[in-house]
A and B are shown apart, each in its own frame.
Chain A
Amino acid sequence: MNAFANHFSFEFRTGMRDKTLLLMNYLFPLGVYAMLGLLMTELNPPFVETMIPAMIVFAILSGTVLSLPNPLVTAREAGIFRSYKINGVPATSILTIPALTTILHMVVVAAIITATAPLLFGAPPPINWPSFILVFLLAAFACAGLGMLISVISSSTRAVVLWSQLIFLPSMMIGGLMIPFSMLPDALGKVGLLLPATHAMNAFQGLAQNQGAAFDPLWSVIILLAGGILSLGLAIYLFCWDRLNTTRRGHPTLALLALLPYGVGVVLL
């Protein structure tokens, strides 16, 4: 427990000490929140209705999919995991502790957004708080799982950028953050169902905001949970201490299995 607490404490402080992490965990999502709050509420007034969930999902994507994998890949390539292995740091801790501390940073950001958006921009606060918290945690878990998986399968930070943007950019455009899912053409809607952002937005709106979901929000909850568990499991299974000298247990393409729950969603919804 002492070791876990020490590791957790170090990783949490790193999230604020490291300038890149500080930017991606706090400054970028809060900066975009402030900017969209000022612009979008003028240009697209209905945006304010979904502003809190949209900005929280944006912050989660920034902290997990964009920011979480890079330090892990850099550490592996620098041989830091070799030091960890020799000193008995478990692989599960190497992956899950940064994910947990990132989620904790996201809790802080989400709290700031949720507390200030109604006051500054007139955004409606959540109605069902337990559901709001549950959906937040599930969305963060699912996205952190994908972040961990990206870190495990990426051979370099350039590969991280590629995989991260493959999730982040479509999430921004068709994940329900800027344009409501119900307004998307059918084909794009089907692609959108492959994204955790779509399910997070749907669950937030249906369960926490009582705004009416585009499809059954319980499916979104199940898909986010299953996606998170599968991503975490695959990340641990595919983890390697040292890309050059250790054999991976499975081929990196196995990571695509993490999309299975979302694929089932495409078929069923």
Chain B
Amino acid sequence: MKDSIIKVRDFRKVYGDVVAVEGISFEVQRGEIFGLLGPNGAGKTSTLESLEGLRAPDGGSLQVMGVDPARESRKLRNLIGVQLQTSGLPDSMRVDEAMRFFCAYHGVAPHYHLLDRLGLAEKMGAQYHTLSAGLQRRLVLAVAVAHNPPVMFLDEPTAGLDVPSRIELHNLMHELQAAGTTIILATHDMAEAEKMADRVAILLRGKIVATGTPRELTATGAGLTKVSVRTEGPSLSDPSITFPAVSQVAFKDDYAIYYSTDPGPTVSAIIVHIEAQGDTLIDLRVERPSLEERFLEITGTRGGQ
């Protein structure tokens, strides 16, 4: 049975004459990581900030664990943890003070181990304005999760983070998910969305234009699977050789690259051909179309309309 933690029905948000979000609907299940993707101005942040109670919707309804964010902010505050895209902490606030300050308002004991976990242990006494952009984002994240909220909103959480911090954040997200936390992730990083999200919705000009699991989305596109082959001899060097389902051929760095609509028959035929030519296979790679390619396909096509 589905347990919808977040319900968005015909949500609409306008700023003057500009319609930022035009009647979108979606639900997020308990323990799910749900990705909101879209180009700049697609309506991701308007949607997130309305769910967080920072903006009032101009139409439709929003619910977070049965709470209306616009009307019941007191109830909402202990249910959600938020890492905003544009917000900060007071310049003079020290790292340990930030943890104490926000935990006190949530009525929980400070969780200093989170600071340690996110690489801030050595910066306990440092003021916010002296931290690098990456450390500032980590601190905001640490205080966002400190009261153990059942729902997390992360708006571009890895922007400005180095690779180890990014990995640490992804591990933390998986741990939170394993503990039952529902996570809404707005990101421009398609690789991150593909890796982390159970389901994604792609927004374009205030409307949801695609939704599903990353695998479902990539499977429904016109994207071609890339088959890269390297052999010891010249058995594949002739570009006129054809294989089933191959629509394009390219050669790069000793690899013959075939773009296939159906990679199974293509790979079988290539191997048969190599063996028939008495050649030896050195390397063979099959790469499915990525979410990024599918995203560009959707946003590029529709955006041009």
Our verdict on whether A and B bind, yes or no, reads yes
Listed in ascending order, the chain A residues whose CB lies under 8 Å from chain B are: 2-3, 5-7, 10, 13-14, 17-18, 71, 75, 78-80, 82-83, 85-89, 241-242, 245-247
Q: Report the bound CA distance from A86 to B155 in whole Å.
A: 14
With a cutoff of 8 Å between Cβ atoms, the chain A residues found around residue B78 in the complex are: 88
Q: How far is the CB of A177 from chain B (nearest CB, A)?
A: 31
Q: Can you sample 26 A-B contacts with CB below 8 Å? A: A2-B107, A10-B90, A10-B101, A18-B91, A71-B90, A75-B90, A79-B86, A79-B87, A80-B87, A80-B88, A82-B84, A82-B86, A82-B87, A83-B88, A83-B89, A85-B53, A85-B73, A86-B54, A86-B77, A87-B77, A88-B78, A88-B105, A88-B106, A242-B54, A245-B49, A245-B54
Other than A7-B105, A87-B77, give 8 A-B pairs with Cβ distance below 8 A.
Answer: A7-B101, A18-B91, A78-B87, A79-B86, A80-B90, A85-B53, A87-B102, A87-B143
Q: CB of B52 within 8 A of chain A?
A: yes
CB pair B84 A79 closer than 8 Å: yes
| Shortest distance from the beta carbon of B296 to any chain A beta carbon, whole Å | 30
CB-defined contacts of B102 to chain A, threshold 8 Å: 87
Q: Tell me whether chain A's interface is mostly helix, strand or loop, or mixed.
A: helix
Stretch among B92-100, B189-197, B226-234 lining the A interface: B92-100
Complex contact A82–B54 (CB within 8 A)? yes
* Chain A residue with Cβ nearest B91: A18
CA A22 – CA B77 in complex, angstroms?
Answer: 34
CA distance A88 to B91 in the complex (A): 20
Complex contact A80–B89 (CB within 8 A): yes
A89: chain B residues at CB < 8 Å are 105
In the assembled complex, the CB of B114 is this many whole angstroms from the nearest CB of chain A, namely 15
> Are A83 and B55 in contact, with the CB atoms below 8 A?
no
Chain B nearest CB, measured from A199 CB (Å):
33
Cβ–Cβ contact A2 & B80, under 8 A: no
From B55, B82, B101, B105, residue with most partner A Cβ within 10 Å: B105
Q: Residue of B at shortest CB range from A85?
A: B54
B54 touches A78 (CB 8 A): no
Whole-angstrom distance between the Cβ of A185 and the nearest chain B Cβ: 45
Is B74 an interface residue when CB atoms closer than 8 A count as contact? yes
CB-nearest residue of chain A to B86: A79
Minimum C-beta distance from B117 to chain A (A): 20
Interface: B19 (CB within 8 A) = no
How far is it, in angstroms, between the C-alpha of A74 and the C-alpha of B204 when the chains are bound? 33
Which residues of chain A come closer than 8 Å to B105, judged between CB atoms? 3, 7, 87-89
